[in-house]
Amino acid sequence: MNTSTPSHHKIRTTHLQRDAYLYVRQSSMRQVLENTESTKRQYQLREQALALGWKSEQIRVIDCDQGCSGASDKGRDGFQQLVAEVSLGNAGLVMGLEVSRLARNNADWHRLLQLCAFADTLILDQDGLYDPAAFNDRLLLGLKGAMSEAELHVLKSRLQQGILNKARRGELKMPLPAGLAYDDLDRVVLAPDTQVRETLQKFFAAFRRLRSASAVVKEFRRENIQAPHYSRTGPKSGCIIWGDLTHSHRRRTFCRSIPEPRSARRRCRTRPRPRPSRRR
């Protein structure tokens, strides 16, 4: 049991008896590789927990969500683990450099605040220490969450407007499937790699013969024919990589077309709707 004397008026002995959880996250792998200073600052919050009275062995670092967006908790196993630890009453302190590291979605953020208030868990960021059970602190944390979500909306809006402006000018370049490339005049032409072209000819010839994309995938795997695809991330980004033909690769080969500027503007998104419950 930790018998340290609390160094802050909001910290009680019951907080110090539980663990402190430090949540570290960057939104993309590119940020993980390039924004190293931000990552260092996030890990440095550990020193503040030590200064507030927690022991080194009590500080748990959750950093398995690197490269995951905070717009949702989907796919963020680290955030879900953090919520579970708070729910079980194991966390005396939750740390994040700023609200946007923990969540950029108001629903996820307020759910965490409610659990912290119920479990008597404090929250620490770069600006200070908060008690979600206290009205003023919870109000401030709620405003920070709203600003974080609004910031994400503004960033997305700026990027989207830039894409639309390029489309209106006819300068929007979309990622191409393997086998196609842009020439010096930004026209779509066949890839100069002979092996890539020959493999794609085999792909479409097999499809005309089998009349099924899934059957083509099975045939390629059975005959151990490697298929080309572009690497979109990492040090080999933009380079051709050879590997087994997968259903996602054949879907991109068939379905990815080059939209004209007008059709690019007409793109729409689908919204999931709740299914009506069945009466028993």
Cα 199 to Cα 278: distance, rounded to the nearest angstrom: 49
CA distances from 85 to 73, 88, 91, 257 (A): 15, 5, 6, 46
Catalytic member of 4, 27, 87, 248? 27
Active site residue 237: no
Instruction: Check the CA dihedral 165-167-172-175 and report its sign.
Output: positive
| Host H or E run for residue 242 | strand 240-244
Q: At what angle do helices 106-119 and 135-168 cross, to 10 degrees?
A: 160
Collapsing DSSP states into helix, strand and coil, what is residue 129?
strand
- Quote the CA–CA distance of 278 and 107 in Å, as a whole number: 27
What whole-number distance in Å separates Cα of residue 43 and Cα of residue 45? 5
Helical ranges in the chain per DSSP H: 13-16, 29-34, 36-43, 45-51, 77-87, 99-102, 106-119, 135-168, 194-210, 213-222, 247-255, 261-265
| DSSP codes of every residue in 181-213 | EE-TTS-EEE-S-HHHHHHHHHHHHHHHHH--H
Q: Catalytic residue positions?
A: 27
